[in-house]
């Protein structure tokens, strides 16, 4: 899942960005409405976290303008303005959630994940393909009932593959959803993470390479050890 964060307090932006990344999100950070507008014109996101008052205006105005054009991206507003009228204004402009400063960063992470799920940019909280279970809500992965320890990036890639339900996902789409704008789309970062993921998932392999396309997550193939494999009926 890829998030756009608009926050001009660099310390707060860094804390939020790092917490979201630890939870498996890719995060692009901007400090102005102009930068957010430009970034939204070239990148796709699963949700946005916008500080309301930044140096060049109120993000409510940006969201209102985008909503009038049919924009559906989930938006969580951050603000020090906690009055009822301020909250109503934020929701009327098209905000989906509202968090007043100061706030607990872990709560923001949970709200962003919930926002993505309610909006449909995240599929079912728990996806099972074969003997692999991916629990997005708990950030857990099991193979044949054994819990695995994955890095945030490995989890993010597996989450996208699992949500695709056996359909091949291109390397470009994995970069788009699992890395921020600093990632080089022609590098081998995807292949490296997939190789690490395969090693942790173990045998038989469940992450398949689809030549010329990318990768897909399949149920493990059964080994040919049954009666038919031995020529018996």
Domains of the chain in sequence order: 2-119 (3.40.50.2300), 126-217 (1.10.10.10)
Phi, psi of 152 (to 5 degrees): -55, -40
What span, in angstroms and rounded, lies between the C-alpha atoms of 128 and 219? 9
For residues 127-137, give the mean pLDDT.
88
E-strand spans in the chain? 2-6, 26-30, 47-51, 53-54, 57-58, 75-79, 97-100, 126-129, 132-135, 140-143, 146-148, 169-170, 207-210, 214-217
What pLDDT score does 227 carry? 35
Q: CA dist 72 to 34, 68, 96, 98, 144, Å?
A: 19, 10, 10, 17, 38
What pLDDT score does 76 carry? 95
* Crossing angle of helices 152-163 and 189-201, rounded to 10°: 90
Q: Which of 138, 116, 119 is nearest to 127 (CA)?
A: 138
Q: CA dist 135 to 13, 18, 28, 77, Å?
A: 27, 21, 25, 27
pLDDT digits (tens, 9 = 90+) for 42-62: 888 889 999 999 999 999 999
What span, in angstroms and rounded, lies between the C-alpha atoms of 101 and 53? 12
Over 70: is that where the pLDDT of 155 sits? yes
The residue count of the chain comes to 233
What span, in angstroms and rounded, lies between the C-alpha atoms of 82 and 194? 44
Q: What is the 3-state secondary structure (H, E, C) of 15-71?
A: HHHHHHHHCCCEEEEECCHHHHHHHHHHCCCCEEEEECEECCEEHHHHHHHHHCCCC
Over 50: is that where the pLDDT of 232 sits? no
Q: What is the pTM of this model?
A: 0.63
Over 50: is that where the pLDDT of 109 sits? yes
What span, in angstroms and rounded, lies between the C-alpha atoms of 141 and 161? 13
* Crossing angle of helices 189-201 and 171-178, rounded to 10°: 90
What pLDDT score does 188 carry? 82
Over 50: is that where the pLDDT of 229 sits? no
Residue bearing tokens 């597996």: 158
């Amino acid at each position: 899942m890829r998030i756009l964060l608009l926050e001009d307090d660099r310390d707060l932006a860094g804390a939020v960005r790092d917490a979201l990344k630890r939870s498996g999100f890719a995060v692009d950070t901007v400090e102005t409405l102009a930068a957010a507008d430009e970034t939204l014109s070239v990148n796709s996101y699963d949700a946005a976290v916008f500080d309301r008052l930044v140096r060049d205006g109120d993000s409510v105005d940006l969201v209102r303008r985008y909503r009038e054009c049919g924009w559906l991206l989930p938006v969580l507003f951050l603000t020090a303005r906690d009055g009822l009228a301020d909250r109503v204004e934020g929701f009327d402009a098209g905000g989906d959630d509202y968090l007043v400063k100061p706030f607990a960063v872990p709560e923001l992470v949970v709200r962003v994940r919930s926002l993505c799920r309610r909006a449909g940019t995240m599929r079912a909280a728990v996806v099972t393909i074969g003997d692999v279970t991916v629990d997005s809500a708990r950030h857990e992965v099991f193979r044949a009932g054994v819990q695995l320890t994955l890095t945030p990036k490995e989890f993010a890639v597996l989450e996208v593959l699992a949500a695709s339900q056996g359909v091949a996902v291109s390397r470009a789409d994995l970069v788009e959803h699992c890395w921020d704008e600093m990632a080089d789309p022609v590098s081998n970062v995807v292949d490296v993470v997939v190789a690490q993921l395969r090693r942790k998932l173990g045998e038989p392999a469940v992450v398949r390479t689809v030549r010329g396309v990318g990768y897909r997550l399949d149920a493990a193939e059964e080994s040919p050890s049954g009666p038919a494999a031995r020529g018996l009926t």
